[in-house]
Every structure is written in C-alpha cells, then in structure tokens.
Amino acid sequence: MTDATLTDVPDRVKPSSEALLAKPTGRGPRDNVQIIRWILLFLGGILMVMPIAYMISTSLKWPHEVYNVNLIPDEPTIENYTYVLEDGRFFNWFINSIIIATITTISNLFFDSLVGYTLCKFKFPGRTLVFIAILSTLMIPTEMLVIPWYLMSQQFGWLDSYWGIMFPGLMTAFGTFLMKQFFESVPDDFIEAARIDGLNEFQIWWEVAMPLVKPALAALAIFVFLGNWTAFLWPLIVTNSPDMYTLPVGLAGFGDEADVAWELIMTGAAISTIPTLVVFLIFQRFIIRGVVMAGLKG
Amino acid sequence: MTAYRNLTIRQKQIVWAWIFLAVPVLFYVVIRFYPTGNAVLISFQDWNLLGARTWTGLDNYEKLWNDPTFWKVFVNTFEYLIIGTPVSLVLSFVIAYHLDKLRFAHSFIRMLYFLPFMTSAVAMAWVWRWFYQGVPIGLFNNLLASVGIAQIEFLNSTTNALPAVLAPAIWAGLGFQIIIFMAGLRAIPVSYYEAARIDGVGWWTVLTEITIPLLRPTIVFIVVFSSIGFLRIFDHVFNMTTNNPGGPLNSTKPLVLMIYDTAFNAFDMGYAAAQTVVLFTILLIVSLLQLWILRSDR
C-alpha cells in the first residue's frame, strides 16, 4: 500500500459533467436533484449489501432466532463460529484455500509478468506467434478443458492433491496480456542503461522493470487470488476426499447435509466470505483501481 | 560460456527470450493446447472412463441433436443470457451514471455497490437459497407474509426458478460493471460537456449525443464480458438446486451443469466432450456477433 502511483491519485481527477452543467451559484432545483439522487443511491446500496448483512447477522443468531427477520440479533452469539471451527472441517478447507490461492497468485505474478515482459521488450523470431498463441487460449472456455485435465490428473496421480487443484491456473493468458500492456510503459532507455551497467537480462527484468509495474502486479494479484479463492467447478471435479476440499467445495457439501441448520450454513458462508471482505475494506481504493485497470486493459 | 560470450547482442536476446519462455510455452502447450485438441478428439469417441475408447464419429453430436434435455438446456442457457445481460447492463449503467455525479460520501456508496463482487458465488448462492425458502424459514416469504401476501414458490416452481437463480448472479456481477462504467464515464473529455453547456443543451441530449456514443468501447466490453459469464453460469445454479441439480424438471439447468452431470455423474466422457465443443462454439459465435453488432466503424 505504499505505492504512490496507485493511492495518491485523487479520487476525482476532474469535475463530473453534472458539476460542469450546474449553475455556478445559489441553491436551486439541482440541489433537490442531488438530494433525491443521493437518497435513492443510498437505499439501493443498502439493498445491495442486504444479503451479506443477513448472512453475517444470521451467523450470530441462536437457532431459535434464525427465522426472525430482524437484522440485529436479540442476543448475539459466536457459538456458531465456535461450533463450526471446532468441527475442524472448515478450518481445514480454509487452510487449503489459503495455500492454493497464495501459490497460484505467486506463480501468476512471476510467470505472467515474465512472459509479458519478454513479449514486450525482446526482439526474437516467433514473438508474434507466441503472443497470438497465448492470447488465443482466452477464447477456450475452462469447461472444455476440464475433461482432458481430469484424465491427465488421473493418469499422473494428481487427483485429490494441491497440485491437481492448482496446475491449470498457474499461468493465465489474461495476466500475460495485462502485464505486457503495462511493460509498454517502461522506457527502453531504462533497460538499455541497466544493460550497460552489466546487469543480466533476468536482473534487468526483476530489479529494474518489475518495480516499475507494481500497480499492475497488485491488480493482477487481486484478480488471481479472488478468482482462485472462489473457484468452484475445477476443485469440485478434482477433489474426492473432504480433507482436500477448498472452502467453496466444502461449503457446498456442508450445506447439503440434510440436518444442517441455516445458522450453521450462514456461518460457513461467512467464513468463506469475510476474509475477502476485510481485505477489500482495508485496500478499498486500491482494489477498485485494480479492477478498473484490469478491466480496461483486459 | 565462451560460446555465449561470442554471440552478438541480438543473438543473446534470442537466447534469453527462449530461456524465459521455455517453461510457459511448455505450460501452454501441455495444459491448454493439448487438452483443447483432446476435448475435440474425445467428442468423436464413446468412452465411459473405464472401458476402451471406441471411435464413433459424429454419433455424440447426433445424440445431442436428438436429446430433448439438451434443447431444454440450450433454451435455459440463452434465457440466462437474454435476461441477464440487458438487465445487468441497464442497471449498472443507470447506477454508474448517477453515482458519477454524487458529491457527498461518494466512495462510501460506491463501496456498498461493489461489496457483492468480492463474495464467493457458492456462499451467496446458499444465502439466497435461504431467502427463497417457504414460511417460516425464508426471508422473502416471511416479509411477504408479514404484509399479508400469499407465499411465492421461488425455487420449486418451473417458471420462477430460473429468474430466482439468475437474480443473485446479476447481483454479484453488478459492482464490477458499475466500476467499469464509472471509469468509462471519467474518461470522456470534459471539453465535450463544456461545449454542450455553452450551447445550452439539455441533459437528455448530453446523455444520448455525448455520453452513450463515447462510452461505446466500455459498453462493448461489458456486453461481451457479461454474456460470456451468463452463458457459462454454473456455481449459482448448482448450489441453489443441489438436492436436484438443475431442477425442478431441468428448468434451471444450464449447459455447463449438463456437461458436469454427463461427465462426472454419468461418466459418458465422449458425450460430455461433444457438449463442451458446442459450448465453445456458442461462446465464439455470440462474442463475434456482439463485436460485429457493436463495432465502432458503422
């Protein structure tokens, strides 16, 4: 969060069209429009967070109070959390998810930027071909690949392992493309200067170019981590034993157990959602900027 | 090392480029290209994962063409697309348009709209599933009952279930689209609005003559991005209907869920692979069609 380029940019770099169209002085009908607009947007926003609020609220309720539509529990309790975490499974799934999302994020940051940098800053035969080939994989839906991946995992004994869950996501074409776009902004002179100083190509990439694209790396990290944290289809297919489940897969099965009560399901849902919400609340502007960058560049 | 030292700068670059690309190129060939070809190959075979693979030519595609479930699923998949994309496009544009003009507590309200994007589809599917239950469990029916309105069957009705499953999917993606729209709005040069103001043009003309035409690239991105998402819907459907995936009576089943069922419950790998090829074709046609309709040089 120390990166100046991302955080110090003022939120509103230019006045909005409304501000420009508004009368320069005095109160008028436009102020009323502003007030009504604010109230409507506020109410809409409250509606948007209602499902999340109810999830958290219900996870703090005693079983007899679950069907009460009150958002604030009469007697809040963390009993559900103690119960669900003592059960051990959620804790286990949580750790699995952390490990998988972290390793895939690191792998993507490393390889996507290495490939993006190479495609951007090196001249070599086959460059365009490699770029087009990687980009073309964006068109292939994951769903088409899961059957061959499953067969591959079966042959190599990767079923039901961390490696099996992670291997398809170690690099992404989206990340490579994003990083290539950002390395365009690194001046060739910097690289030339480093070369004259006697740095080898790996050092130039790692020590000179990478620090200059930190904002892009942050954006990519958020996307990859969130994507792997919430991934469902492939982990569902590749895991068999409950010990290897990720949080979403575990939660899906947990919710389906016949006798499980809604307050416990909501607690499980909260455990798989709250960490990303907390991270978001801390790094809010940073993440929104990352989404904008990734969205517009990708 | 002497051999390397004798190379020209250009040759050294080629060597470095391929050192950097070696692992990623291997990855893309083994984890992306080979499986793509393999999926197409399997789609021409009959294989139950245990027995022998037999070449059956176009049999799987013929079976698909004559399968009433497939046509039901095909219609469902397009219902998700045809309702989901315009609804989320209009909602996110209207919200972003007004949010952009908000001066007070702007980032707080923006956060409310963005939060759902940070949640996991599985967790939220279970929250919404709880909302949809009948009295006395479900929140929606409890609220309806408190104002004396008859209960609504959300997930158990063949007509209501699909929109009920789609709503959380739209809800979860809205925040992302709003942020992208707001970035697009900010990118419109202020001079256009200044000129409009000098000419004394009304807000509707400004909206239809300046804002929307200049937002075209953003609109194209969001339309293509969100339709791909709705065509590949799975997590929400699977988790809201786990007792009867895709039910009631296949009324919510999308193509990806049919693929999952065929491959990993019925183990009919060839048939499932044929379905993935169909999904790939649909995604390709829909994206190209949208890019062609929304192309900028008309």
Min Cα distance B45 → chain A (Å) is 13
Out of A118, A140, A270, the one facing B36 most closely (by C-beta) is A140
Neighbours of A215 (CB within 10 A): 19
B-chain residues within 8 Å CB-CB of A284?
107, 111
Counting as low any pLDDT under 70, the low residues of chain A are: 1-29, 258-259, 297-298
pLDDT for position A232: 96
Nearest CB among B116, B193, B273 relative to A48 is that of B116
Residue A18: per-residue pLDDT? 54
Task: Name the 3-class secondary structure at B246.
Answer: coil
Residue of A19, A123, A147 lying closest to B269 (CB–CB): A147
Contacts of B206 in chain A (CB under 8 A): 17, 21
Is B250 within 8 Å of B104 (Cβ atoms)?
no
pLDDT digits 0-9 by tens, A58-94: 999 998 888 888 888 888 999 999 999 998 899 999 9
Cβ partners under 8 Å of residue B192, min gap 6: B210, B214
State the best of A41, A155, A177 to mutate against chain B, taking most chain B CBs within 10 Å.
A41
Transcribe A29-41 into DSSP letters. HHHHHHHHHHHHH
- Please say whether the beta carbons of B123 and A273 come within 8 A: yes
Residue A67 main-chain phi, psi, to 5 deg: -85, 5
Nearest to B76 by CA among B226, B257, B240: B257
Contact call for residues A290 and A219 (beta carbons, < 8 A):
yes
Are B171 and A51 inside 8 Å of each other by CB? yes
Hey, of A12, A18, A40, A48, which one would you mutate to test binding to chain B, going by the most B CBs within 10 A of its CB?
A: A48
Query: How far, in Å, CA of B192 to CA of B210, rounded?
Result: 7
Bridge partners (DSSP) of residue B55 are B45
> What is the rounded distance in angstroms from the CA atom of residue B156 to the CA atom of residue B163?
12
Which residues pair with residue B46 across a beta bridge?
B54
SS3 B54: strand
Q: Return the residue in B20, B23, B34, B50 with the most chain A beta carbons within 10 A, the one to mutate for interface testing.
A: B20
β-pairing, B45-46 with B54-55? Answer: antiparallel
Q: What is the pLDDT of residue A293?
A: 80
Chain A residues in contact with B167 (beta carbon < 8 A): none
**Token duo for residue A84:** 């669900």
ipTM of predicted assembly, 2 dp? 0.91
Which residues touch B69 (CB under 8 Å, ≥6 apart)? B250, B253, B258
pLDDT of A20: 52
How many CB atoms lie under 10 A from the CB of residue A132? 9
pTM for the whole thing? 0.89
CB-CB neighbors (< 8 A) of B8 in chain A: none
Question: Do B61 and B43 form a contact (C-beta atoms < 8 A)?
Answer: yes
Cα A223 to chain centroid, rounded:
4
Which residue ranges in chain B fall short of pLDDT 70?
1, 296-298
